[in-house]
Structure 1
Amino acid sequence: MPSSYQAPSRKDKASAETFSQSAQTNTSKETATVQKILDNKGKGVFSIGPQSTLHEAVELLRDKHIGALPVLDSQGSLLGILSERDIVRRLADTPGQTLGQKVEEIMTRKVEVCEPSEALISVLRRMTEGRFRHMPAVFGDKVVGMVTIGDVVNYRLNELEYEALQLKQLIVG
């Protein structure tokens, strides 16, 4: 060992310590909101009226490849939501007599809604706790979109993929 070598001491470590993360860098990222999902989905919301039949609703769900419809009055105000689950339950209760029934007879009237400015993590938590997969986004008293649990999960997966890529680039250089 050369005579000039001196083993590191506690004082050396304390002054050389660096931090790649701080509270500010970890919390400065903007919060993912419902609006981010709505921007990617495009304009327009498929909906149905309360006097429409379940047959009309089933066709709309099938043709648009969606799982739920907000039920709106003639002024566009939200009255309820009709999901595939609502229809299946009614099919089991009234076999052979279901498709002629009115949407308002089976729609869910107590609807959980979100606003475009709401954080996605909050929406995901409410959907998970309430065990539902569709949530109308409302601005004022108008439905401006529909958020699905699939939308939220997909958005988060894309975020994680991007974060992993950033970390890989940081490590590799």
Structure 2
Amino acid sequence: MAPSSYQAPSRGDKTDKKTHSQSVESNLSHSLTTVSRLLEGKGDAVFSLRPNDTISHAVQILKDKHIGALVVTDQNGKLQGILSERDIVRRMAETPGQTLPQEVAALMTSDVMTCAPDDALMDVLKRMTEGRFRHMPVIVDDNLCGMITIGDVVNFRLKELEYEALRMKQMIVG
């Protein structure tokens, strides 16, 4: 026996109209997030040095700014390379006690993977993971406009997931 509040569907009911709590668009919305959206919250500050600077100078900047990599630029601000803590540690293992006076140009990575502000954040994360690097300069028209780290991307995505979970909870609770 059906409850007294139950009413069987009638001919005039709109049975063809369906609602979905999830859609392809909502499930993939995180993949549409771009680098520029991350930079909006993070800012566009980029710390750089020149190829002829010493590793000692680079280490001091890394320490003072609490960062893990520096972009290497020419006098016009054009990207020449990137120098990470990992690059320095590897060289220290190869040349103990002789690394700090060396020039940045000798240690920097010249073939730098970059991204653009309109690149999808998940694509950038995939490239960073597959390439096994943690820092990526953001370039627009050959000009440096920011730097993102794998930590920035992961933290940004975690905040998105927290927000999505909160929205779902609000929908359920009302």
TM-score where L is the length of structure 1: 0.87
After superposition, the Cα gap between the structure-2 partners of 1:162 and 1:22, relative to the gap in structure 1 and judged at 3 Å, is closer
Match of 1:11 in 2: none
Distance of 1:133 and 1:42 partners within structure 2: 18
After the TM superposition, which of the residue ranges 23-32 and 149-158 deviates more from structure 2? Answer: 23-32
2:122 aligned residue: 121
**Aligned equivalent of 1:94:** 95
- Aligned equivalents of 2:37, 2:153: Cα separation in 1: 10
Check the 8 A contact 2:45/2:146 in 1, yes or no.
yes
Superposed displacement of residue 66, structure 1 = 0.4
| Corresponding letter in the other structure for 1:160 | L
**What does residue 18 of structure 2 align with?**
18
Instruction: Return the TM-score normalized by structure 2.
Output: 0.87
CA distance in 2, matches of 1:40, 1:114: 17
In structure 2, relative to structure 1, the CA distance for the partners of 1:81 and 1:25 (3 Å cut) is closer
Specify every segment of 5 or more residues in structure 2 that has no aligned partner in the other structure, as ranges.
9-14
Q: Helix, strand or coil for the counterpart of 1:90? A: helix
2:158 maps to 1:168: no
Secondary structure of the 1:100 match is coil
Identity fraction in percent = 55
CA distance in 1, matches of 2:168, 2:27: 17
Which consecutive aligned stretches of 4+ in structure 1 deviate over 4 angstroms post-superposition?
A: 22-25, 27-30
Aligned partner of 1:49 in structure 2 is 50
- Structure 2 SS opposite 1:19: coil
Distance 1:64 1:100 in 2: 20
Read off the aligned partner of 1:102 and give its amino acid letter.
E
Amino acid at match of 1:87: I
Q: Distance in 1 between matches of 2:28 and 2:135?
A: 30
Match of 2:67 in 1: 66
Distance 2:128 2:150 in 1: 7
Q: 2:53, 2:124 → 1: CA distance?
A: 29
Aligned length: 167
Distance across 1 between alignment mates of 2:25 and 2:148: 29
Deviation at 1:28, TM superposition (A): 8.3
Inter-partner Cα distance in structure 2 for 1:23 and 1:170: 15
CA spacing shift, 1:28–1:130, aligned 2, 3 Å? closer
Structure 1 unaligned spans of 5+:
9-14
Q: Give the CA deviation at 1:25.
A: 4.8
* Aligned residues of 2:44 and 2:147 also touching (Cα < 8 A): no
After superposition, residues 24-39 of structure 1 pair within 5 angstroms as: 25-26=25-26, 29=29, 31-39=32-40
Q: Secondary structure at the match of 1:111?
A: coil
CA shift in 2, pair 1:35/1:61, >3 Å: same
